[in-house]
Amino acid sequence: MSEHKLNDSLDTLKKSGVRITPQRHAILEYLISTESHPTADDIYKALESNFPNMSVATVYNNLRVFRNAGLIKELNYGDASSRFDFVTHDHYHIICEKCGTIVDFHYPGLEEVEHLATHVTGFEVGSHRLEVYGTCPACIDNAAKVN
């Protein structure tokens, strides 16, 4: 995990008046170190042994604080639970339709789409989102073993 990312994120929180609690620190550290785009329940389960008095509500409240500070993105893909992504750079997601695994990828050419959209429509583009759906290698392998 990048100590630099953690320290920068903690500084961002401190500058906005957010007190750094051990739970808040652990949740942020977990988000920075994982690439799995966890749900709040995933985060709670990963940290509950270290913080037996922490509740799922504590995790949700801290995720809201991080989102408001611009440190994470909340991802909604039509299922019942949000997933959370530590924001380090603009990137996109490919999502497995079988198991729900989400993987990051970067494609700088899509920035041109924003410029084109502005030019064609006159809109001032604030952001864009790209989701690609398919079947991950693990699910492909599992399907091949069954057949």
**Which positions make up the binding site for Zn(2+)?**
96, 99, 136, 139
Question: What residue numbers does the annotated binding site for Fe cation cover?
Answer: 111, 128
Helix axis angle, 22-33 to 3-15, nearest 10°: 140
Is residue 40 within 8 Å of 63, Cβ to Cβ?
A: yes
Query: Side-chain half-sphere of 30: how many Cα atoms within 13 Å?
Result: 25
Question: What residue numbers does the annotated binding site cover?
Answer: 96, 99, 111, 128, 136, 139
Backbone angles phi, psi at 124, to 5 degrees: -95, 110
